[in-house]
């Protein structure tokens, strides 16, 4: 008999909650407090930045890390594990849909960029979920050592490229996708998560589940 994995349950909802809560706060902060043009100069600097998209990229990444850890804990395995991770990432993206639609009014006329950002953050989240699943595998060192490896790496992945090649950082990539980049640059932004997925997925599929589920 094939085991069915719950997509969201009482044990796995917290990463989604963080995503919904912090993206929501970022959305509120993105809206300028100004009423007339005079106030634009003194409007919050957060509203002058794509704050919502930064938060979206960051928390979709964290969701991926959390989902990977949860999957390892439950001992999910094989291609079904991969499919359920993808579905969970999509659910995370779906929970942000009301915000994404709301954010359209802050960046009018950039529908194409929104679609690219949604696809990009989904890929990043899935790649990080697979990475986290590998790191958190029960046969590897305990959860605390997994935590010590993956979160610093996540910070480096987001921050380090900003100094030189921002397209390789999820934060830099969402900003540039929103501002509009040439197709080769957009491809470069997508290259890293796609490469991570392509390389890590076969290893993740071959893992044997030894979790608590």
170 near 58, Cβ under 8 Å?
Answer: yes
CA distances from 72 to 50, 66, 182 (A): 34, 10, 39
Which span sits near other proteins by CB under 8 A: 100-108, 127-135, 138-146, 154-162? Answer: 100-108
- The helix/strand/coil state of 205 is helix
Q: Restricting to residues 107-146, which ones interact with other proteins according to CB under 8 A?
A: 107-109
Residue of the chain from 6, 115, 155, 199 that contacts other proteins (CB under 8 A) = 6
Based on the shown chain and the rule CB under 8 A, indicate whether residue 25 belongs to the binding site for other proteins.
yes
Residue 6 DSSP class: P
Closer to other proteins by Cβ: residue 182 or 206: 182
Based on the shown chain and the rule CB under 8 A, indicate whether residue 151 belongs to the binding site for other proteins.
no
Least distance (Å) between residue 195 CB and other proteins: 29
Give the residue from 52, 58, 45 showing the smallest Cα distance to 28.
52
Question: How far is it, in rounded angstroms, from Cα 150 to Cα 154?
Answer: 6
Residue 12 DSSP class: T
Task: Please report, as ranges, the residues that interact with other proteins according to CB under 8 A.
Answer: 6-10, 13, 16-17, 20-21, 24-25, 27-28, 31-41, 48-50, 91, 94-95, 97-99, 101-102, 104-109, 179
């Amino acid at each position: 008999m094939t085991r069915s994995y719950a997509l969201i349950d009482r044990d796995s909802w917290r990463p989604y909650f963080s995503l919904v809560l912090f993206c929501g706060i970022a959305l509120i902060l993105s809206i300028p407090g100004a009423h007339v043009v005079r106030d634009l100069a003194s409007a919050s600097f957060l509203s002058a930045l794509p704050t919502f998209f930064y938060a979206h990229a960051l928390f979709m990444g964290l969701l991926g890390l959390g989902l990977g850890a949860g999957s390892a804990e439950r001992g999910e395995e094989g291609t079904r594990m991969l499919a359920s991770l993808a579905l969970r990432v999509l659910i995370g993206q779906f929970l942000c849909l009301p915000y994404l639609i709301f954010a359209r009014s802050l960046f009018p006329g950039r529908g194409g960029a929104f679609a690219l950002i949604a696809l990009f953050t989904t890929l990043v989240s899935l790649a990080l979920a697979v990475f986290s699943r590998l790191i958190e595998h029960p046969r590897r060192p305990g959860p605390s050592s997994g935590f010590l490896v993956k979160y610093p790496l996540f910070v480096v992945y987001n921050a380090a490229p900003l100094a030189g090649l921002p397209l390789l950082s999820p934060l830099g990539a969402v900003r540039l996708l929103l501002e509009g980049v040439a197709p080769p640059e957009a491809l470069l932004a997508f290259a890293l998560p796609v490469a991570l997925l392509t390389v890590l997925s076969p290893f993740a599929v071959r893992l044997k589940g030894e979790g608590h589920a």
